[in-house]
Amino acid sequence: MALTDEALEQARAEAQSHYRDLRARKPKLDDDSIDVILRGARSHYAWRSDPVSEDTLRALYEITAAGPTSMNTCPSRYVFVTSREGKQRLAKSLKDKNVDKMMSAPVTAIIAYDLDFWHELPFLFPHEDRRAFFEGKDQYIEDTAFRNSTLQGGYFMIAARALGLDVGAMSGFSNQIVDEEFFAGKNWKSNFLCNLGYADETALFQKLPRFAFEDVCSFL
């Protein structure tokens, strides 16, 4: 139910206060924390056998879900493939070179998006009913779902690293096969796959180059 009048003002005041308190406690991350989540992080292809607990995956979702999306649409859906049977089903979609990477990971997440996300807007965006923005607009629905699920997928990988997990995202697979195998009867589409676990770092090679600021950034 949407908040109105005094209740809405109180909720806004509390949100602003919480944000100010957080910034006062932690103005920014230290260098090591930044290295863990991005600057020193790596994509991984080999994994130790250590399991990933359900509690860790629940914490991962909770952190990921806190990230912003347009109109709070939250279109991403997550399937954590952990069983041998599930992995064998997923292997049908993969290019050959990716099968071993996926099979050896404790968890492979299918990052997908729900094309019916906009039906949940009265709950997700209670300030006003914005379902009319999407009704009958298939391309807008697709664009919004894909863009925001990709954004949420980025949050997902950063959150996993923040929790001590390693990640290895994969796009070398057939989206059509994944959708037919896992999402029959649902209006979901796969975006990308992400292996999760604790990496065997002996498989790493040197970090590849990145562009310099001057190569890709400009001011207007």
Reported as a single tens digit per residue, the pLDDT across 87-141 is 999 999 999 999 999 999 999 999 999 999 999 999 999 888 999 999 999 999 9
pLDDT at 128: 86
With bands split at pLDDT 50, 70 and 90, how would you rate the model's confidence at 60? very high
- Which domain, by its residues, includes 113? 43-202
Q: Which residue has the higher pLDDT, 128 or 81?
A: 81
**Pair (48, 35) in one structural domain:** no
With bands split at pLDDT 50, 70 and 90, how would you rate the model's confidence at 218? very high
**Pair (36, 110) in one structural domain:** no
pLDDT tens digits along 26-43: 999 999 999 999 999 999
**Pair (83, 15) in one structural domain:** no
**Pair (65, 142) in one structural domain:** yes
pLDDT at 9: 87
State in Å, rounded, how far the first CA of the chain is from the last one. Answer: 43
With H, G, I as helix, E, B as strand and everything else as coil, classify residue 115.
coil
Residue 162 lies in a domain: yes
Residue 78 CB contacts under 8 Å (≥ 6 apart), including other chains = 61, 109, 110, 111, 112, 156
**Pair (34, 141) in one structural domain:** no
Residue 220 lies in a domain: no
- pTM to 2 decimals? 0.95
With bands split at pLDDT 50, 70 and 90, how would you rate the model's confidence at 7? confident
- Mean pLDDT, residues 55-73: 98
**Pair (2, 72) in one structural domain:** no
**Pair (62, 142) in one structural domain:** yes
Tokens of 82: 């952990």
Residue 211 lies in a domain: no
**Pair (85, 143) in one structural domain:** yes
Above 90 in pLDDT, residue 47?
A: yes
The domain tally of the chain equals 2
**Pair (49, 17) in one structural domain:** no
pLDDT tens digits along 151-207: 999 999 999 999 999 999 999 999 999 999 999 999 999 999 999 999 999 999 999
Angstrom distances, CA of residue 124 to CA of 25, 54, 70, 138, 147: 29, 25, 11, 20, 17
pLDDT at 1: 61
pLDDT at 3: 67
**Which backbone phi and psi does 113 adopt, to 5 degrees?**
-135, 145
With bands split at pLDDT 50, 70 and 90, how would you rate the model's confidence at 2? low
Residue 56 lies in a domain: yes
pLDDT at 29: 97
Q: What is the CATH number of the domain that holds 183?
A: 3.40.109.10
**Pair (110, 32) in one structural domain:** no
